[in-house]
Amino acid sequence: MPSDFYQPIIAATFGTVTHAIFPVAGQRDGNAEIVAASGMETLDIISRLQASDVDTATLDALRITTDRLCSEYPYLPSGQLAAEGRQWLKHVAGLQAQRLTLAQHREVLTLSGWLALLIGCVEYDMGDRAAAESTRRAALSLAREADNPEISGWAHEMRAWFALTTGDYRGILAASQAGTDASPKHGVAVQLAAQEAEGWARLGDRRQTEVALDRGRKLLEGMPYPENLAHEVIRAGTDFDGSERSPMRMAEARITLGVVAARQGDLDQAVNYGEWALKGDRQSLPSLLMVSRELAAIINRNYATETAGQEYLDHLTTLTRAG
């Protein structure tokens, strides 16, 4: 294993960051973390809220619960996650009617902002663009009231994501710049750089794409390793029993494999990957349709007369109309 001095140098050589090549051990999450950190189960937290017992321990438990919900975004079914997120937002927002210190009031606004971001993302995944945009704006307003630049940055990142999936590439650049201006030193700045790179790439500007990617890489290299670890897409995205923990990312990975197969002339394999990606309870319909376009374009160009190719295109058309 290279020393700490050489690890970032090696990573930079390959255009990535240290922990992408030299990972560290993971940490636990979920309900066990809530109990371990706060000593309270979910029912205990709700009971305290209903009893107007808003102390530091209660707010800590709410903070950990919010973090858990956000961590469950990649795999929890959309309907379930939306319902839980709205219920907890209702609990947290209800605290504003109680007597709070200035610090507690700011913390309540911050927790509400994070929950609003989560709910807005899930609403967009479910195809409700109007609701998602309204919730995103609410999150941005909460961020400004709480003076929280990180939530502001993510609210702008959501706008960039919306623009990406609808083909508004100039909109991606505008939203990314607004988010970077609002939150230049937080982790969201890395994602904003990636979104900006995607916008420039789709506009055909290779140089600006590379500049944005390199800026994001340098930002990421200088940040501490996250407590909620990212996983390799397919290997660590599947539990030991075969269940998927990151179905949306895995869907995108499979479509990419489908594109490769299609370019190599293997229509059956391409369609298998494409159809596999369209299955599952947890998916972001706008993102899934966006990444499916390249595979659909190849199939439409080279295999439109083939039965398997036509069936896949028809499936996509049905999903597009539904979204």
DSSP 226: P
Domain boundary assignment for the chain: 25-147, 149-224, 247-322
> Does position 280 have pLDDT exceeding 90, yes or no?
no
32 compared with 255, residue with greater pLDDT:
255
pLDDT at 215 over 60: yes
Is 138:116 a contact under the CB 8 Å cutoff?
A: yes
Residue 245's pLDDT is 54
The pTM assigned to this predicted structure is: 0.75
Confidence of residue 51 (pLDDT cuts 50, 70, 90): low
70-118 per-position pLDDT tens digit: 888 887 888 889 999 999 998 888 888 778 888 888 999 999 999 999 9
Q: Hey, how many other C-beta atoms are within 10 angstroms of the C-beta on 42? A: 14
Which are the contacts of 317, defined by CB distance < 8 A and separation ≥ 6? none
Q: Are 178 and 192 in contact (CB under 8 A)?
A: no
| Interval 290-307: pLDDT, tens | 888 889 999 999 998 899
Angle, helices 102-125/78-94, rounded to nearest 10 degrees: 160
- d(CA 62, CA 272) in angstroms, rounded, equals 43
Q: Which residues are paired to 238 by β-bridges?
A: 244
CATH class of 149-224: mainly alpha
pLDDT of residue 137: 95
